[in-house]
Amino acid sequence: MKYISIIIAGLLMNSAPLSALNIVTIEQQEYQHVLKTKAQPVKFPLNQTDKQLIAAMKTKLYQLGGIGLAAPQVNQAKQIIVLYIPEEAALLRENVIPYPMHVMLNPTYEAVVDTKVQYDFEGCYSVSSKSGKVPRFNQIKLQYYDESGQYYQTIEQGFYARSLQHEIDHINGILIIDRLTPNCIQGTVQEMMALRRAELPEEKRVLFDAVMKKKLKK
């Protein structure tokens, strides 16, 4: 009966209107498979279903307030990620450049030779029980396709590279809980939010509180 319930839940989610996407979490047993399994590449030209999914993901990410969203997070096993770094996110971190909403299809990354691994706070919409300082490459070689099927290869660094690694991990069935080794600073979401706030300069704590208050209302 347990497996029948999981299958039914998946079918209901997949048949739901794409305009009503819901975030699924690893704590929900019926969605563990989609979050822990490598997603399928999309094919070009995009079919109508994929176009609708991308549009719905953009809307959902705007509603969430950024930073990134991968298709498995809305129970869709496809290699689609959407990124959006609003100005307020850039104000809360050093060397962060705001980015408008954009889409990457079938993306992959690899570390640039001799790049450093850095630790920074990360949360995840699909992990409600834990967050922490996740190790990421500071510089990566990125490969992806846009919505028209055009191929790109770029070098990215800093917070944007971190965001890309987080989202591309999702389409490979990897979550932040897989990256948080025992030596990483980690804890409940509430504990890590308090720690992150404490590490900010006093003038940024007011902005942090305002941003968090706004996110809680979403």
Q: DSSP state, 197?
A: H
**Which residue among the candidates 30, 167, 199, 203 is catalytic per the annotation?**
167
Global confidence as pTM:
0.87
**Is the torsion defined by CA of 173, 174, 176, 180 positive or negative?**
positive
pLDDT, one tens digit per residue, over 121-160 is 999 999 999 999 999 999 999 999 999 999 999 999 999 9
Please count the other Cβ atoms lying within 10 Å of the Cβ belonging to residue 8. 11
Look up 156 and say whether it is catalytic: no
Instruction: Convert the pLDDT of each residue in 15-45 to its tens digit.
Output: 344 557 999 999 999 999 999 999 999 999 9
Pairing of strands 99-111, 80-85: antiparallel
Residues 152/144, Cβ–Cβ less than 8 Å: yes
Domains and CATH numbers, the chain: 2-216 (3.90.45.10)
By mean pLDDT, which of 2-11, 74-83, 180-189, 196-205 is the weakest?
2-11
Secondary structure of residue 185 in the 3-state scheme: coil
Distance (Å, whole) CA 168 – CA 79: 8
| Pair 87, 211: CB distance under 8 Å | no
Q: Are 122 and 176 in contact (CB under 8 A)?
A: yes
Angle separating helix axes 202-216 and 189-199, nearest 10 degrees: 150
Note the pLDDT of residue 19.
53
Instruction: For residues 78 and 70, give the distance between their C-alpha atoms in angstroms, rounded to a whole number.
Output: 8
For residues 146 and 101, the answer to whether their CB atoms sit within 8 Å is no
Q: Which residues contact 67 (CB under 8 A, 6 or more apart)?
A: 83, 84, 85, 89, 163
pLDDT of residue 11: 35
